[in-house]
Amino acid sequence: MIVLVINAGSSSLKFQLYNMENEAVLAKGKVERIGMDSAILTYEPEGKQDIREVREILEHTTAIRRVLDMLAHPEFGVLKSVRDIQAVGHRVVHGGESFSSSVLVDDRVKQEIKRLFDLAPLHNPAHMLGIQAVETNMPGVPQAVVFDTAFHQTMPSAAYLYPIPMVLYKKHKIRRYGFHGTSHAYVSERAAAYLGRPIEELKLVTCHIGNGASCAAVLHGKSVDTSMGMTPLEGLMMGTRSGDIDPAIVPFAMSKEELTLSEVNSMLNKHSGLMAISGISSDMREVTQAMQDGDKNAALAFEMYEYRLRKCIGAYAAAMNGIDAIVFTAGVGENSAALRAAVCRNLTFLGLRLDEEANARRSQEDRMISTADSRVQVLVVPTNEELVIARDTYELILHSNPVQ
C-alpha cells in the first residue's frame, strides 16, 4: 500500500510518500510560503535528482496538486499514477480530549477538529486546509489523522489539571494536553526494544528536544506526565519559547511595557528562550559555537537550557518513583553531545554514568550512551513521526477494509 503523509502548516506543507510493503520512503519534500507568488517547492524523489522550484502557489489545494503532479511526473515521478496512492495520513496537533488514538477522517472527525480550533488556533485550521485539499484533489481516497496530543491522554487528572478554578476546565477544557506525543510514543517503544525489555516493565523519561522541546514520563508504556501544557509554550526552555515562567509576569510585563495580548503572546512564543538569553540565535548549534568561542550570554543560555531540562528529568524520576532509562531525541537531543553530557554529568545521584566516548560518537542509529554499570540507561533514538503516521494510517485502512 502506498501512503502519503502530510504535515500541513498555515503557509507550509511537508510530505513523505511511503511504500508500506517495506516502509521505504519513495519521495519527500515540502512546499513553503503558500499564499505567495514565490512559493518554494522542494521535492526529493528516491534515487533521482532533487528538484526546487519557485512558483505562485496561493492555497493548499494548489500545493497538493503540485506535489501530486511531481509524484506522478513522467520523468521525476516515483509513481505511475496518482491513483496508486491508497491513503493519506495527516499530522494534527490538537486532538483535545476527543482523541486518544489515530482515526480515519469522516464528517464527525472533521467537526471535532474544527471544534478544537480554539485550543490550537495556529495549527488545527491549517491541518483542516490540508484535509480539504486532499479531498478536492484525491476524491474518495481515505484519510487518517494522527494527533500530537493522543499519547498523553493516559495522564491521570492529578497530572493534567491545573490548580485554578475548576470552572475553567469544565467550561473551557483548560488543562494540560501535552504535545510531541507521536514522537514520545515512538522513541519509548524503540528504547524498550533496544533494551530488550517489555515496555510494561519500564520507567522512561523521553526528551524530545528540537526547536520545540518537551519531556514525558512514560510509565509502563503510558504517558503519565509531560512538560508541555494546554499549549506548546509550557515546560522546558526552547529555541524561541520561554517555557515555564511565573504566570504573574504576564500581566506585570503587559502593564509595565504597555504590551497587548498579542504582543505578549509573541514575546513568549517567538522572542524568548535560547534566542532571548543568548541574543545570538535560537539554533543550538550556533549557541554552542558562540559559547565555545567565549560568548558569556551564549554560555548562560546553554546553562539555563540544560538546567531546566535536568530539573524536569529529576521531577519525572520523582513522579514515577524511579527511572530505568532516559531517551534523547529530535534535532538537539539526537545531535548535541554537549547538551546530553551536561545533563548527564549532573544526574550521577541517580546512579547514572555517561559513556563520554559513546556520547561523542555520531550516528543515525539507536544507541546507548551510558556505561555498562550505569544504573540508569541513557539512549539516543532518532525520532520518525512521519513513519508513525504512515503506520497508523496503514493499520486503520487494513482494519476498516480487511479484504484489501
Which positions touch ligand ADP (CB under 6 A)?
Answer: 210-212, 239, 283-285, 288, 330-332, 335-336
> Locate cell 507568488: which residue?
37
- Which segments are annotated as binding site for Mg(2+)? 7, 385
Please name the residue ranges forming H helices in 139-283: 157-160, 166-172, 181-195, 249-257, 261-270, 273-278
Q: CB 362 → ligand ADP: shortest distance, Å?
A: 8
Q: Closest CB to ligand ADP among 327 and 396?
A: 327
Question: Is the distance from CB of 183 to CB of 211 less than 8 angstroms?
Answer: no
Q: CB 333 → ligand ADP: shortest distance, Å?
A: 8
Q: Which neighbouring-strand residues pair with 354?
A: 370
Q: Closest CB to ligand ADP among 96 and 212?
A: 212
Q: CB 236 → ligand ADP: shortest distance, Å?
A: 12
Q: CB 382 → ligand ADP: shortest distance, Å?
A: 10
Q: How many other C-beta atoms lie within 10 A of the C-beta of residue 233?
A: 18
- Which segments are annotated as binding site? 7, 14, 91, 208-212, 283-285, 331-335, 385
Identify the helix (H) or strand (E) that includes residue 379: strand 377-380
Please tell me which residue in 50, 84, 148, 244 is annotated as part of the active site.
Answer: 148
Residue 148 among the catalytic residues: yes
Distance between CA 327 and CA 334 in Å, rounded? 10
- 33 burial (CB, 10 Å; 0-12 / 13-18 / 19+) is middle
Q: Which of 314, 164, 352, 330 is nearest to 238 (CA)?
A: 330
Query: Which three three-digit cell numbers place residue 239?
Result: 529555541
Q: Which residue is nearest to ligand ADP (CB)?
A: 331
Q: Closest CB to ligand ADP among 7 and 137?
A: 7
Q: Closest CB to ligand ADP among 95 and 331?
A: 331
Distance between CA 31 and CA 41 in Å, rounded? 4
Residue 71, CB-side half-sphere exposure with 13 Å CA sphere: 27
- Which segments are annotated as binding site for ATP? 14, 208-212, 283-285, 331-335
Q: Which residues are catalytic?
A: 148
